[in-house]
Homo-oligomer: A and B are copies of this chain.
Amino acid sequence: MQRIGFIGPGIMGAPMAANVVRAGYEVVGFGRSERSVERLTAAGAKVASSVAEASTDVDAVVTVLPDSPDVEAVVLGEGGVLDSARGGTLLVDMSTIRPEVARAVAEAGHARDVGVLDAPVSGGEQGAVEGTLSVMVGGAADDVARAMPLLETMGRTIVHVGPSGAGQTVKAANQLLVAGTIGLVSEALVLLEASGVDPTKGLEVLAGGLAGNRILDRKAASMLAREFTPGFRVELHHKDMGIALDAARAADVALPLTGLAAQLVAAAQASGRGHEDHSALLAVVEALSGRTDGRKGD
């Protein structure tokens, strides 16, 4: 595998593409904005003028797109990846989308002899830059094997979790756990502060026991300081909670805490915090009790 089409060089996609170039692959990239083109050039990629061009005569196409409809348009649409890629090309979709759409895209690919993997990531912009993303991969074992060297240029932990759609399902599970945990940590913190407990020491104790989690490890300090610079934006997590609930519906399961956590994330979005870090859920939980910045009233 030598020549890679790369579609979607945004905040995550651009540094990911740069890592692919750095590893010695020939990258032909496409992005809609001028900003994207600059990023691709800076990364050392060739710039294609269309999805079709980025999908023609390549060994693999990587897509990093915002949402399910974008993937449907870019892959399944007229002049899309499947219209342009030759048989035997591998499509690696690293967007976070609905598992059902991932399965549909995989089926459409297979009908054209294009192997398809769903390979969403976690680890944020920093992980994308440093090539240390976690990648959850769904698809056929031989396609995963083929893609592995490519994926290893972008991520550190790459796990094949099941058939098509499985990568997206694990990502959905990841997002519901993260949102729920931020919510619970927020509730714990509000309880401590409202009860006159030293919140720094309180969270420290919590972090050290069975209640410990990565949110406490990484975000306790910024949450205590009400510092909500992203990081991962509320608006993206709001989108992802929609995906998680859709995945639950498709899998015919009921997830009560997830259903409620999704509404708390929706509240963060609705109250104008869409561009803040998802830890701003704390502000929603506080406001519910008429509190701001650790104090009663505003």
Contacts and interface: CB of A to CB of B under 8 A. Distances in A.
A210 B218 contact: yes
A111 interface: no
Chain A, interface size category, equals 35 or more
Interface string A191-235: 110111110011011101111111100100000000000000000
Interface stretch (A22-30, A42-50, A70-78, A172-180): A172-180
A284 to B, nearest CB: 7
Contacts of A175: 211
A288 B271 contact: yes
Most chain B CB inside 10 Å of its own CB: which residue of A99, A163, A169, A188: A188
Interface of A: 99, 122-123, 134, 136, 138, 157, 159-163, 165-166, 169-170, 172-178, 180-181, 183-185, 187-192, 194-198, 201-202, 204-206, 208-215, 218, 238, 242, 244-245, 247-264, 266-267, 269-272, 284-285, 287-291, 297
Given A134-B208, A166-B196, A195-B251, 8 more contacts: A161-B197, A169-B191, A174-B188, A174-B209, A180-B184, A190-B255, A252-B289, A257-B261
